[in-house]
C-alpha cells in the first residue's frame, strides 16, 4: 500500500529543511521526491500537508515502561538512588501500582511516549518481560541490547552479572547501565569498577552520571562510551545535573531519555523542554534547539546501532514521522520543542498514523475500528487503540478514579 505525502517541508539527514514529498510503502519510506516530481507508483492514499514540517520520530533513549503510572514518587532530593527507591516503595501509590498488570503499565508507557512524538523507546528492563511488546503498533522498542541495572551492591539484579552481559554484547550490541547516581563512596567508584571489569567500551551506554567527576568523564571520552541525559529525573531525584558542559567539551556522544514516570518525567517532549531551558541558562550557547533534536533522532539512532532503520528520513527506513506546523518559521526546531503535544498534526509509526487530526484519518491503518475519537488535552484527535477503556480498567483495579498528567484522554462520545 502506497501513501503519498505532498507539499511538506522535510528535515533531511544533513539537518537542512527543504520542500519535499514522501512516498511510503507499508511501514517503510519508499522514496523522497522533489516538489512536483512525477510519481512512478500508483498511490492508494494522497495527503496534502500544505507546507507543514515533517521531522523523524524521536527516540527516547531511556525509560522504564513498567513504572509508568503516577508521576514523581518518593522523597527527593536523595543522596543516592537506592534511598529514593526505598522511599518510593513505601508510597501508597506505588503499592496500588502493584495491582496493575504489566501489560496495562507497558501500554500506558507506550502512550506516554507516542503522544510526545517518541516512536522508538529504549526500555531499560530485562528482555524476558519487555520482548513481549517488541511488535506493538504504538511504539518500537530497542530489541538488541545487553544490560545491567548498576554496579553497586544495591543494584537490582537484572540480567546476568556485568562481565557476562558485556561479554555477550560482543563489543557491538549496546550495553546499558546506570552510573553515578549517588554520593556514597561505592557509587563514586562505580565507573572505576566498571572499567576494571572490562565493561567500559565504545558500545557502553551510561545512563544519568550526576555524580561523575571530571576524571570520570575523561575516561568515558577515552573509551568512546556514550551517555544518556535525564534532565527531569536527575534534578528531581538527585538534586543536580551531570556536567553537560564538560560532556560536550569532551565530545562524548550524548542523547536524552525520560527515565520512568515515577522519577518525575511527564513525557519525552517535557525532557526536551527541560534540556532546552537548562542549555539556555547554563551552557553559553553550546547546545541549541537543532542540537537537541539531532540528539533525540540521528545521534540516538547511531548510539544504539539502529541508524539503518530509524533516526532520519530516508528511503528504506521506517516511516516514523512527526508532522507539525511551527509557530515560529524562523526556528522550527525551537517551535517543535516548545510545542504542546496535542498541537502535533500527526504522529506516524511504521507508516500508520497513531494520533492525528481528523483530516488525516485516511493515513490510519486499513481497519479504522482500531481507532478512537478522543479529546487529548481538550483537543479533538483520532488515536489508535482504546485509551479511555485502559484508564477505566486501571481505575477499577486500584479502586479509585485516576487522571494521568501525561495522558489526559477523554472520549468524544
Query: Is the predicted pLDDT of residue 330 greater than 70, yes or no?
Result: yes
Mean pLDDT of 87-103: 95
Mean pLDDT of 300-310: 98
Query: Is the predicted pLDDT of residue 171 greater than 70, yes or no?
Result: yes
* Distance separating alpha carbons of residues 392 and 61, to the nearest angstrom: 29
Query: Is the predicted pLDDT of residue 119 greater than 70, yes or no?
Result: yes
Query: Is the predicted pLDDT of residue 366 greater than 80, yes or no?
Result: no
- Give the chain's domains with CATH numbers: 2-55+317-411 (2.30.40.10), 58-303 (3.20.20.140)
> What pLDDT is recorded for position 413?
64
Q: Is 207 helix (H, G, I), strand (E, B) or coil?
A: strand
* Distance separating alpha carbons of residues 36 and 80, to the nearest angstrom: 58
Q: How confident is the model at residue 391 (pLDDT cuts 50, 70, 90)?
A: very high
317 neighbors 23 (Cβ within 8 angstroms): no
Sheet holding 140-141, edge to edge: 58-63, 118-123, 140-141
146 neighbors 159 (Cβ within 8 angstroms): yes
242 neighbors 213 (Cβ within 8 angstroms): no
DSSP lists the bridge partners of residue 28 as: 25, 318
Q: How confident is the model at residue 405 (pLDDT cuts 50, 70, 90)?
A: confident
Residues in the chain: 413
Phi then psi for 82, rounded to 5 degrees?
-75, -25
123 neighbors 107 (Cβ within 8 angstroms): no
Cα–Cα–Cα angle for 258, 334, 109, rounded to 5 degrees:
25
Query: Is the predicted pLDDT of residue 230 greater than 70, yes or no?
Result: yes
> What pLDDT is recorded for position 30?
98
Compute the chain's Rg from CA coordinates. 21
Query: Is the predicted pLDDT of residue 1 greater than 80, yes or no?
Result: yes
Name 401's Cβ contacts closer than 8 Å, sequence gap at least 6: 395
Cell 565507573 belongs to which residue? 191
> What pLDDT is recorded for position 364?
81
Mean pLDDT of 103-128: 96
* Distance separating alpha carbons of residues 99 and 357, to the nearest angstrom: 35
pLDDT digits (tens, 9 = 90+) for 125-144: 999 999 999 999 999 999 99
DSSP lists the bridge partners of residue 33 as: 21
Average per-residue pLDDT in the chain? 95
Cell 550490541 belongs to which residue? 173
Evaluate the CA torsion angle 246, 290, 354, 18 in order and state its sign: negative
Amino acid at each position: 500500500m502506497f501513501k503519498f505525502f505532498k507539499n511538506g517541508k522535510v528535515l533531511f539527514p544533513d539537518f537542512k529543511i527543504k520542500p519535499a514529498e514522501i512516498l511510503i510503502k507499508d511501514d517503510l519510506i519508499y522514496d523522497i521526491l522533489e516538489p512536483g516530481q512525477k510519481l512512478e507508483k500508483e498511490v492508494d492514499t494522497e495527503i496534502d500537508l500544505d507546507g507543514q514540517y515533517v521531522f523523524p520520530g524521536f527516540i527516547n533513549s531511556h525509560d522504564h515502561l513498567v513504572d509508568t503510572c503516577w508521576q514523581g514518587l518518593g522523597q527527593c532530593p536523595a543522596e543516592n538512588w537506592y534511598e529514593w527507591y526505598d522511599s518510593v516503595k513505601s508510597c501508597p501509590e506505588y503499592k496500588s501500582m502493584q495491582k496493575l498488570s504489566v501489560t496495562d503499565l507497558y501500554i500506558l508507557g507506550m502512550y506516554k511516549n507516542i503522544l510526545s512524538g517518541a516512536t522508538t523507546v529504549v526500555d531499560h528492563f530485562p528482555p524476558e518481560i519487555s520482548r513481549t511488546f517488541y511488535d506493538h503498533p504504538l511504539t518500537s522498542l530497542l530489541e538488541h541490547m545487553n544490560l545491567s541495572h548498576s554496579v553497586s551492591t544495591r543494584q537490582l539484579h537484572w540480567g546476568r552479572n556485568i562481565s557476562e552481559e558485556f561479554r555477550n554484547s560482543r563489543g557491538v550490541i549496546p550495553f546499558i547501565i546506570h552510573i553515578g547516581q549517588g554520593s556514597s563512596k561505592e557509587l563514586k567508584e562505580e565507573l572505576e569498577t566498571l572499567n576494571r571489569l572490562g565493561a567500559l567500551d565504545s558500545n557502553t551506554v551510561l545512563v544519568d552520571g550526576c555524580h561523575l567527576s571530571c576524571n570520570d568523564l575523561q575516561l568515558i571520552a577515552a573509551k568512546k562510551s556514550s551517555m544518556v541525559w535525564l534532565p527531569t529525573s536527575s534534578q528531581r531525584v538527585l538534586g543536580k545535573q551531570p556536567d553537560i558542559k564538560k560532556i560536550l567539551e569532551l565530545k562524548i556522544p550524548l542523547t536524552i531519555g525520560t527515565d520512568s514516570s515515577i522519577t518525575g518525567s511527564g513525557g519525552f517532549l517535557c525532557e526536551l523542554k527541560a534540556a532546552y531551558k537548562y542549555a539556555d541558562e547554563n551552557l553559553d550557547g553550546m547546545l541549541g534547539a537543532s542540537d537537541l533534536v539531532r540528539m533525540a533522532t540521528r545521534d540516538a539512532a547511531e548510539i544504539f546501532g539502529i541508524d539503518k532503520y530509524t533516526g532520519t528520513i530516508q528511503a528504506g527506513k521506517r516511516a516514523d514521522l512527526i508532522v507539525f506546523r511551527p509557530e515560529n518559521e524562523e526556528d522550527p526546531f525551537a517551535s517543535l520543542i516548545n510545542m504542546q503535544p496535542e498541537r502535533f498534526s500527526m504522529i506516524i509509526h511504521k507508516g500508520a498514523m497513531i494520533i492525528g487530526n481528523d483530516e488525516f484519518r485516511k493515513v490510519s491503518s486499513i481497519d479504522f475500528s482500531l481507532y478512537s475519537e478522543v479529546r487529548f488535552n481538550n483537543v479533538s484527535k483520532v488515536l489508535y487503540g482504546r485509551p479511555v477503556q485502559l484508564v477505566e480498567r486501571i481505575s477499577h483495579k486500584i479502586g479509585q478514579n485516576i487522571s494521568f498528567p501525561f495522558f489526559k484522554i477523554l472520549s468524544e462520545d
